[in-house]
Structure 1
Amino acid sequence: MTATATAPGSVPVVRSTRRPWTALPAALRSAVEARLGSPVAAARSQSGGFSRGAASRLRCADGGRAFVKAVSLDGDPVSARLYEQEAAVAAALPGGLPVPAFRGLITEGGWTALLFDDVPGRTPSVPWRAADLDAVLPALTRLTAVAADRPAPGLSRWGGALADWVGWNHLLARGDALADVPSWARPHAERLAALEAGFPEAAYGDAVLHSDLRSDNILVRRGSVTFVDWAWAARGQDWIDPMIFALCAAVQGVADPDALFLRHPAARRADPEAVDALLAALAGRFTTAARQPTDWGTAPIRAFQRAEAATALHWLGRRRTWYPGAR
């Protein structure tokens, strides 16, 4: 199976070629059906996301529905660990969030599967359309408001290890030529390093964050919006999810991420210096991450990371008036 990220124009579309339900090991399918309490009568594969495992909407013989995603421990150990992480996160998420109900983690025959309620809906169109943005933004505003009031002590602080967020400082320390950085941004490398140093204080907060709000992690149906794939959930400033959403939306066709970001009330309350610190840290992290070795499975991830680095730099450059023509 091959994960692909096609690009109509310059807009990456996150899609994967996935194993169908019927191609999963019989023992795993039986374990899933036992958990569901009914045989699976029909299954429809889903293509969103970077994982190479199975992702199917299931309809059971008794009329019940569920969503399953499964991955082989041997074929994709990184995704398998993420599934285990997502299962732990599901147990730590507070109630009241617009998320699919979690039905459990199943390990069988070297495979790991996660079961959720099947939520009707589609992923937003890419490039993003105004109608989908108009549906998702109010839902994200509601999510932020609910998440700010729900304690979640089981979730880690947003950002993980500090070493992952000092990319510019590491590049400068070794005299890197920054050949993959836009020419206009290279003279500002020391400023970027100084900004990213403020990352820990800028990100610190207690709001529950999804942390990975790409289009393929959002389902829209008749104005109803559900946020899925919470493996990277954490606690931090309430404006971080709107920032991640605006960044990913800009990678996938939205012209002005700052304008999109500022449509969210949490963004309008945010400290501008803290916002710039996180943009600098994100740009540094994605710049260094995109340089990691690429194979048939990681090539789409590296391509998306390169696009995220360029977009974050462009956004920050306009905010700081570093970018040519910025006002």
Structure 2
Amino acid sequence: MANNSEKAPPQYLRDLLEAAVGQKSMRWTVPDCGLSSAHRFVVQLETNHSVFVKAATDEETEQWLRTEHSVLSAGAGNFMPDIIDWLDPPGMRPVLITEDLSKAYWPASHAGVTWRKGDFDLFFDGLKELSAFKTDLTLPKLKNPTTPLWSEIADDPTLFLQLQLCSEQWLSKSIGTLIQAENNVNLTGDRLVHGDVRSDNICFAGSQLILVDWSHAARGNALHDLAHLLPTLHLEGGPEPYHIMPDGGSIASLQSAGHIWRIIEDHSMPQWLQQVFKKLIAIELEWAASCLGLETPDGLVWRREESHSRP
């Protein structure tokens, strides 16, 4: 989380923070993270200590911030940042103050993604710790899909086949198995789920994985977070998903169908994002095929596409 630039905060936020910590704030910088409209600042205090400040700006970010506070305050494990204070004054949006993790190692920033040697092992160890944590927090429950997307793709495969991710012959041979696998997926459970594990929500404090931005936390299957990130992680240089989850055929079928449906339905998706989705789908189809005993998809090979996209 590299700091981008110094920026003056809203005055109300400066007043709230200084009253809470009993110190003057000397420098406010906007960290290189976060996609929502919430305010985010790394704040240097007069004692040279620094904190991370996240403030809701509307109803949506307020709900997300309350979820994040609920999870962090439960003290589930070392894979979470420490809370310093929670400010919830009447008539104002809440503010969460946590430890500043700027000195930790962040694989991702707007400049790109760089995983160091050994980081993947640390990441998998940290997610194993998370997956073992049962929670009774009042969080949204992950639910199994009620409409199998592969069935809808099978009804009219024209747009999917235009993506050139497989031939019509491969799809004809594989579609029944993919539909059955998707129908067998189970997202439910009693484990704490981060819900948005991405390389830019990950940092390492020494050998400890820390996950930030718990806005979309939920209760569900212990392997949900791992399965969600594996295809992207492979794009970033990580292992093949099959080598980590050789029994992940159902979730690979579900995720590939979801990405296919989105790329078909979202007509405003920019070209660069379409290419990312196509690579992810190719990885997920390979993963599903390996798990389910299908032939390897005979369409675009993401590794070849990746090499062609580099200068």
Q: Tell me if TM exceeds 0.5.
A: yes
Q: Give the direction of change, closer, same or farther, for the CA distance of 1:306–1:79 in structure 2 (3 Å limit).
A: farther
2:266: which partner in 1?
A: 292
Please give the residue correspondences for 1:169-180 in structure 2 after superposition, counting only pairs within 5 Å.
169-173=151-155, 177-178=159-160, 179-180=162-163
CA RMSD of aligned residues (A): 3.7
User: Per-residue deviation at 1:277?
Assistant: 1.2
Query: Counterpart of 1:314 in structure 2: which amino acid?
Result: E
Question: Residues 157-195 of structure 1, C-alpha deviation per residue, up to 9 Å, x if partnerless?
Answer: 22x5735x7332333345653123612464334432322
AA partner of residue 178 (structure 2): L
- In the superposition, relative to structure 1, how do residues 322 and 40 fare at CA in structure 2: closer, same or farther (>3 Å)? farther
Aligned to 1:312: 284
CA distance in structure 1 between the aligned counterparts of 2:221 and 2:275, rounded to whole angstroms: 28
Equivalent residue for 1:223, pick from 202, 207, 230: 207
8 Å Cα contact 2:64/2:215 also seen in 1:
yes
Indicate if the aligned counterparts of 1:67 and 1:118 stay in contact, CA closer than 8 A.
yes
How many Å separate the matches in 2 of 1:216 and 1:30?
A: 30
Q: Is residue 2:107 matched to residue 1:124?
A: yes
Aligned partner (choices 146, 163, 177) of residue 191 of structure 1? 177
2:35 aligned partner: 50
- For residues 7-18 of structure 1, the aligned pairs below 5 Å read none
Judge conservation of contact 1:217–1:228 (CA < 8 Å) in 2.
yes
- Assess if the C-alpha contact under 8 Å between 1:56 and 1:69 holds in 2: yes
Q: Which amino acid aligns with 2:15?
A: S
CA distance in 2: counterparts of 1:227 and 1:186, whole angstroms: 38
State the Cα distance separating 1:100 from its structure 2 match: 1.0
The letter of the residue matching 1:68 is: V
Alignment of 1:99-138 (within 5 A): 99-102=80-83, 103-104=85-86, 113-119=95-101, 120-124=103-107, 126-138=113-125
Q: What amino acid sits opposite 1:117 in the alignment?
A: E
Distance 2:54 2:224 in 1: 27
Do the aligned partners of residues 251 and 224 (structure 1) sit closer, same or farther apart at CA in structure 2, a change above 3 Å counting? same
**Alignment check: 8 A CA contact 1:211 1:241 kept:** yes
Which residue identity does 2:214 align to in structure 1? W
Q: Distance in 1 between matches of 2:164 and 2:33?
A: 29
210, 225, 249: which is aligned to 2:233? 249
Q: C-alpha separation between the residues in 2 aligned to 1:89 and 1:289? A: 30
Distance, in Å, in 1 between the alignment partners of 2:188 and 2:226 is: 15
| Aligned-residue offset at 1:214 | 1.6
The runs of 5 or more residues in structure 2 that have no matched partner are 299-311
The AA in structure 2 aligned to 1:237 is: N
Match of 2:307 in 1: none
Pairwise CA distance, 1:280 = 1.0
Is the contact between residue 120 and residue 238 of structure 2 (CA under 8 Å) also seen in structure 1? Answer: no
Q: Is the 8 A contact 1:50 1:300 kept in 2?
A: no
* Distance change >3 Å, CA 106–CA 141, structure 1 → 2: same
Normalising to structure 1: TM-score of the pair?
A: 0.71
Aligned position for 1:95: 76
Tell me, in whole angstroms, the C-alpha distance in 1 between the residues paired with 2:2 and 2:46.
28
- The Cα offsets for residues 282-327 of structure 1, whole Å up to 9 and x where unpaired, read as 11122223442547xx8887765554333322321233333158xx
Q: Secondary structure of the equivalent of 1:24? A: coil
Query: Cα distance 1:189–1:223, how it changes in 2: closer, same or farther (>3 A)?
Result: same
Alignment-derived partner of residue 68 in structure 2: 86
Q: How many angstroms does 1:207 deviate by? A: 1.8
Tell whether the 8 Å contact from 1:94 to 1:151 is kept in structure 2 after alignment: no
Residue 252 of structure 2 corresponds to: 279
Gaps of 5+ in 1: 1-14, 263-267
Flag the 1:35–1:193 CA change in 2: closer, same or farther, 3 A. Answer: farther
Match of 1:29 in 2: 14
Which structure's CA Rg is the greater one? 2
Distance apart, 1:122 and its partner CA: 1.9
Q: Give the C-alpha shift of residue 54 in structure 1.
A: 4.3
Q: How many aligned positions are there?
A: 286
Question: Residue 142 of structure 1 aligns to which amino acid in structure 2?
Answer: E
Q: Using structure 2 for the length normalisation, give the TM-score.
A: 0.74
Aligned-partner residue type, residue 237 of structure 2: G
- Per the alignment, residue 144 of structure 1 pairs with 131
Rounded Cα–Cα distance in structure 2 between residues aligned with 1:139 and 1:253: 18
CA distance in 1, matches of 2:89, 2:260: 35
Q: 1:289 to 1:40 in 2, by over 3 A?
A: farther
